[in-house]
Every structure is written in C-alpha cells, then in structure tokens.
Amino acid sequence: MAFPQEFLIGAATAAHQVEGNNINSDYWLQEHLPHSSFTEPSGEACDHYHRYEEDIKLLAAAGLNAYRFSIEWARIEPEEGKFDETEVEHYRDVIRCCKANGVEPIVTLLHFTSPAWLIRKGGWEAESTIEYFRRYAAYVTEKLGGELNYICTINEANMGLQLAAIARRFTLMAQQAAKAKSAEGTVQVGMNFEKMMENMKFAAIENAQAFGTPQPQIFVSSRTPEGDALVFRAHQAAKEVIKALYPNIKVGITLSMHDLQALPGGESFAEAAWDEEFKHYLPFVADDDFLGVQNYTRTQYGTAGQLPCPEGAELTQMDYEFYPEALEHVIRRVHEDFKGDLIVTENGVAVSDDSRRVEFIRRALAGVESCVKDGIPVKGYMYWSLMDNFEWQKGFSMTFGLIAVDRATQMRTPKESLAFLGTYTK
Ligand code: BGC
C-alpha cells in the first residue's frame, strides 16, 4: 500500500451538480432565465437525492474510504429564517449511509449555490451574508455535528477573484476579436463566456426580475476585493461557531489552485498570480485544521503574461491541458507557506476515454505519494467526481466521473477508473 492506513481515498460531488431539483437556489433561477448562459438546466441531475445509497455503495465496494459531498443551503433554509427539519434528516441519512459502508463523510457547507433569497439580499458582496452564513453553519452543526469529523466551510473561496481576472482577460480578448472560446480553458470550472457576452444585454433585465437587481452577486460572480475578504470572514465566522459546538470537528476551506509556472521572463506574472490565488489568503486560514487543495491543470507565464497551452498538448474536454503533475507542484508550493494538514479535496479530469482518467489518477497520486514520503502532511485525496454530472454552465457533456450515468434512465455504470482508484486503499 502506497499510503498510510488512515489516508483518505475518496471521491467528491456537490449537491447542485448531482442531487436534482434544487429549486430554491440561485442557480435554478439563472438556469431558467429566457437568455440563460447555461447550456441546459440541471433538472433532476443524477437524482442523487434519491439514489445516494446506490452511489455510496458503489464507491465503497470499489475500496474508497471517503466521500466528500455538500449540504445544500437552499434546501435547509429555503426561505430566510425558515429551516427545514426534513432536509436535515435527509443529510443525516446520507452521513449514516457513508458510515454504514465504512466511508468517512467530508461535508461542504457551501459549494457555489446559495438560496435565491440570499442573493436578493445582496448576496456575496453584502455584509449581512456573513451573519446569514454563520447562522446556517450553526444550525447544520447543531443538528449533524455529532456525526461529523470533517467540515469544509466554503468550496473554492477564491473563485470570485479568478473569475474577475478571467473577465478582464476575456473582455480584452473580445476587443481584440481574438478567439474568445480559448479563455474558458483558463479557469478550473465550467463557464460559457462567449454565451455570457452574447446574453449580456438581456441578462440585466431578466436578472432584475428574478433577483431584484440587474447584477446579482452569486457566489460565482466576479468579486471586488471587499467581497473577496467577505467570503473569508464568512468562513471564519462559520468556523468559530462549529468549533464552539464541536471542538473536535476538523474545519477547513478549499481553494482552486493552478500550478503556476514561469518561463524565463514570466516570473513576476506567476508570482502575482500566486499571490492572488493563494498567498494573500494566508492570514484568514493560518489556524485552520486543514486546507483543501483543488487542482486540475497548470498555467504558464512568459514575458507578456499568461501563455496558451503548449503546442501539441493533450487537452481535456474542458479545453485545458492534461497535466496531472500539477497537483504535486501545487501541494509542494502550498506547503512552503501553509504548514498545517492538507487534503486534496478535488483533482480530476474530463475525458471520454476512461483509460486517460486512469493514467491521470496514476500520475497525480504518484505525486501525492512523493509529497507524503517527504513528510508533507497530506491526509487525503478526493477525485472529482464520483459520477458524471452537471458541470455548471457547460451542462452534462463534460465527463469527469468515475461512474457513468445514463441521462435517460439514471442507470449507473462504474468505470474502470473507479476500481483503479480503489486499489490505493488495498
Ligand atoms: C468545482 C466543481 C467543478 C469542478 C470541475 C471545481 O471548480 O468545485 O464544482 O465541477 O471544478 O470543473
């Protein structure tokens, strides 16, 4: 066995991407705007809300020992201040199902989607959101904390700044009439920038009708520096309340991190990007129990800034480079400044040929193993994703999963990569 006995090997999902019918969320509204930037709506997604037991059993049968999933705030608090006990019980069942199958549950409290009412109240640029998030975290922890060892407060808390940077680049590229599509491959999440630009003229009116503001501040919106800090203050508020209730729960946040590589002359660009993506958050996370590392690819910089993928590079369905070595590089880099425990809370690849996924996992985990051997406290690896699912604006065509899902019948078919990942616990 490559890893210590207690090392967590698992897979991750997010509620909105797999559960289905998340009707009280901001995303649901945005997916159904007449000029939506979404390729298709999430609909019943993978119906994981009803089929979680089958999914967790497949994960466990393959030998995986951890499952990272998210609790949906819009289900728990569909209207401001109205908490739904039956939804808490649903998540209690999911957690118990994990345990009954020998799987460690790792819960995320916010994975991009928020209740629509929160956005009507100013969303992720409004000071009041800190208190709303604290109250939600307190409610969930009071009810379910006794069953949990790990909580990720917020998924990819740095996404807003990454999107702001992309939006700047995209505008520039559009102005230069460059091939706009290639901008999408520079962010580690499914976004349809071209469609967004086309729809912009309608979006303001339709958003105003849905959210009472032409520019709703959802979690995945371009963020101001104040909004950026607000997200981390919300994390700190949630962490404080979780720790007060259950001091033994390990609490962390997760960050989307690229392997930023400088070619000669690109050093200052790469440094600035690393500072924006990671370093400036250190004061907010320094005392956390762990940091969630999420990585998918690398970005290179030259004398004029960010470079396109190297000539001839293998691209994933997401249009970014197939480069599993990025994970090891990011872990080593993070460890230079963050000395606490690390958990790889997401790492994966969207490909149609599953043998490329096996190869990706093999190379990524070889990197993790080498970090562990060197004494870096990496405590787990969660592959993204357990199953093919709703890749946000890009819809269902991106296949990241270890399990294939037939969209018509919801039938599950485990891929070879699921069994391969399971061999790491044996
Ligand atoms: C997100 C996931 C997403 C994945 C693949 C991460 O940015 O946390 O929700 O599906 O990357 O793009």
pLDDT in tens, 292-332: 999 999 999 999 999 999 999 999 999 999 999 999 999 99
User: Do residues 114 and 74 make contact, with C-beta atoms less than 8 angstroms apart?
Assistant: yes
Q: ω before 352 within 30° of 0 (cis)?
A: no
Q: Report the nearest atom of ligand 1 relative to the CA of 392.
A: 10
Coil, helix or strand at residue 153: strand
pLDDT digit string (tens) for 95-105?
Answer: 999 999 999 99
- Ligand 1 centroid to residue 414 C-alpha, Å: 20
Extract the runs of DSSP E, i.e. beta strands, from 287-410. Answer: 290-295, 298-302, 305-306, 341-347, 378-384, 403-405
Q: Which two tokens stand for residue 83?
A: 């908490």
User: Do residues 126 and 215 make contact, with C-beta atoms less than 8 angstroms apart?
Assistant: no
Rounded Cα gap, residues 352 and 334, in angstroms: 31
Determine which helix (DSSP H) or strand (DSSP E) holds 360, and give its type and residue range. Answer: helix 354-373
Matching residue, tokens 């009280």: 24
Q: Among 17, 70, 392, 393, which is best to mutate for testing ligand 1, by the most ligand atoms less than 8 A from CB?
A: 392
Cα dist from 320 to 9, 171, 182, 295, whole Å: 25, 20, 9, 12
Please, is 194 exposed, middle or buried when counting C-beta atoms within 10 Å of its C-beta (0-12, 13-18, 19+)?
A: middle
The predicted structure's pLDDT at residue 178: 45
Please list, in sequence order, all residues whose beta carbon lies within 8 angstroms of the beta carbon of residue 402, skipping any fewer than 6 positions away.
Answer: 11, 62, 357, 383, 385, 386, 387, 414, 415, 417, 418, 421
Check pocket membership of 384 for ligand 1, CB cut-off 6 A.
yes
Q: Which two tokens stand for residue 200?
A: 């912009």
The predicted structure's pLDDT at residue 94: 99
User: Do residues 367 and 325 make contact, with C-beta atoms less than 8 angstroms apart?
Assistant: yes
Check pocket membership of 387 for ligand 1, CB cut-off 6 A.
no
Task: Go through the chain and tell me how many residues it has.
Answer: 426
Q: Whose CA is nearest to atom 4 of ligand 1?
A: 189
For residue 263, give the DSSP letter.
P
- Ligand 1 centroid to residue 180 C-alpha, Å: 21
The residues carrying an active-site annotation are: 156
User: Do residues 96 and 40 make contact, with C-beta atoms less than 8 angstroms apart?
Assistant: no
Q: Report the nearest atom of ligand 1 relative to the CA of 159.
A: 7
**CB environment 144-166: b (16+ within 10 A), e (fewer):** bbebbebbbbbbbbbbbbbbbbb
The predicted structure's pLDDT at residue 180: 47
Backbone φ, ψ for residue 166 (5° rounding) = -65, -45
Q: Among 38, 219, 258, 346, which is best to mutate for testing ligand 1, by the most ligand atoms less than 8 A from CB?
A: 346
Q: Report the nearest atom of ligand 1 relative to the CA of 190.
A: 12
Point out which residues pair with 106 in neighbouring strands.
68, 150
Rounded Cα gap, residues 415 and 418, in angstroms: 6
- Ligand 1 centroid to residue 340 C-alpha, Å: 24
Maximum alpha-carbon separation in the chain? 57
Check pocket membership of 185 for ligand 1, CB cut-off 6 A.
no
Determine if residue 194 is left, alpha or beta; phi over 0 gives left, psi from -120 to 50 gives alpha, anything else beta: alpha
Matching residue, tokens 């109250």: 135
**CB environment 314-333: b (16+ within 10 A), e (fewer):** eebbbebbbbbebbbbbbeb
Point out which residues pair with 300 in neighbouring strands.
261
Rounded Cα gap, residues 241 and 142, in angstroms: 10
Rounded Cα gap, residues 400 and 405, in angstroms: 11
The predicted structure's pLDDT at residue 255: 98
The predicted structure's pLDDT at residue 1: 61
- Ligand 1 centroid to residue 12 C-alpha, Å: 10
The predicted structure's pLDDT at residue 195: 72
pLDDT in tens, the chain (426 residues): 689 999 999 999 999 999 999 999 999 999 999 999 899 999 999 999 999 999 999 999 999 999 999 999 999 999 999 999 999 999 999 999 999 999 999 999 999 999 999 999 999 999 999 999 999 999 999 999 999 999 999 999 999 888 887 777 666 655 554 444 555 556 667 777 767 767 777 888 999 999 999 999 999 998 999 999 999 999 999 999 999 999 999 999 999 999 999 999 999 999 999 999 999 999 999 999 999 999 999 999 999 999 999 999 999 999 999 999 999 999 999 999 999 999 999 999 999 999 999 999 999 999 999 999 999 999 999 999 999 999 999 999 999 999 999 999 999 999 999 999 999 998
Determine which helix (DSSP H) or strand (DSSP E) holds 254, and give its type and residue range. Answer: strand 250-256
